[in-house]
Structure 1
Amino acid sequence: MSEASERTPVDVAVGVLVAPDGRFLLTSRPEGKVYAGHWEFPGGKLEAGETVEEALRRELHEELGITIGPAEPWKIELMDYPHARVRLHFCKVYAWQGEFEMRERQQMAWQTLPVEVVPVLPGTVPVLAWFAEERGFTGATHTAA
């Protein structure tokens, strides 16, 4: 068995916030974290006993200061990073309340395809491809970093 397959994945809830006009929210990873400055969909690790939606609700409130409406489970992707193996549970979110506050001093950007922010975290790339497929987009989904 390879070393990667022996590592137990960490479950992560990821929010794909979609505005009424179809734009989606990306946030930058804060300084001091692995991949600082890379753009991603916001979210975080599940705590013991939490469901994906509970974790997403908690994380988006902690990081962005918003309260989300229903989280619609979308897709699950397994990513092997040098520092961790993560199972990303992507959920679409169409409704939220509150003003966005970047509580970890991260940046936020509403994006369309192709995304204009770089560099993009590797775990974000599949989501951009899924959006392109859903929306019939034929161009590049992101700019090369």
Structure 2
Amino acid sequence: MVIGGAVLDGGRLLAARRSAPPELAGRWELPGGKLEPGETPEEALVRELREELGVEVRPIARIPGEWQLKPGYVLRVWTAHLLAGDPQPLEDHDALRWLTPSQVDEVDWLAEDRPAVTEAMRMLR
């Protein structure tokens, strides 16, 4: 399972641009990563966002639905509030953007992330 974070702060959603693998590079996603053995999804989200972005978050609620990424990997997304840190693209990303609801379509989202992004934007309105 892959856990994604719809990080919300000040009426904005954090988007991360992939730097790898080549077929995903340049596309935008909700940051996150793989669930490790023994972790809850919420623990995985906190760990992944600390590793990838250097921030501390508090998971809030799971966005309904799950999306097939590739065989054996399903994406589930949680909303999260930024608690501490200034997000930096430390791993797997080369750019970050905070997007308001009116800006959300300015980036080329990965198709699997789009339904969760739409739901997160509904929560911001």
TM-score, with length taken from structure 1: 0.72
20, 30, 39: which is aligned to 1:41?
Answer: 30
1:100 maps to amino acid: P
Asked if the contact 2:59–2:78 (Cα under 8 Å) also holds between the matched residues in 1, the reply is no
Equivalent pairs counted in the alignment come to 123
72, 88, 97: which is aligned to 2:84?
Answer: 97
**1:12 aligned to 2:7?**
no
77, 82, 87: which is aligned to 2:74?
Answer: 87
Change (3 A) 1:106 1:45: same
Q: Which has the higher contact order (CA 8 A, sep 6+)?
A: 2
Question: Aligned-residue CA RMSD in angstroms?
Answer: 2.2
**SS, match of residue 107 in structure 1:** strand
Give the percent of matched residue pairs that are identical in Structure 1 and Structure 2: 33
More strand by share: 2
If you compute each CA radius of gyration, which structure gives the higher value, 1 or 2?
A: 1
Q: Give structure 2 stretches of 5+ with no counterpart.
A: none
1:107 maps to amino acid: A
Between the aligned partners of 2:111 and 2:47, the Cα distance in structure 1 is: 24
**1:72 aligned to 2:61?**
yes
1:19 maps to amino acid: D
Q: Residue in 1 aligned with 2:45?
A: 56
**1:109 aligned to 2:105?**
no
TM-score, with length taken from structure 2: 0.82
Q: Give structure 1 stretches of 5+ with no counterpart.
A: 1-10, 137-145
Change (3 A) 1:132 1:103: closer
1:62 maps to amino acid: E
Between the aligned partners of 1:108 and 1:25, the Cα distance in structure 2 is: 7
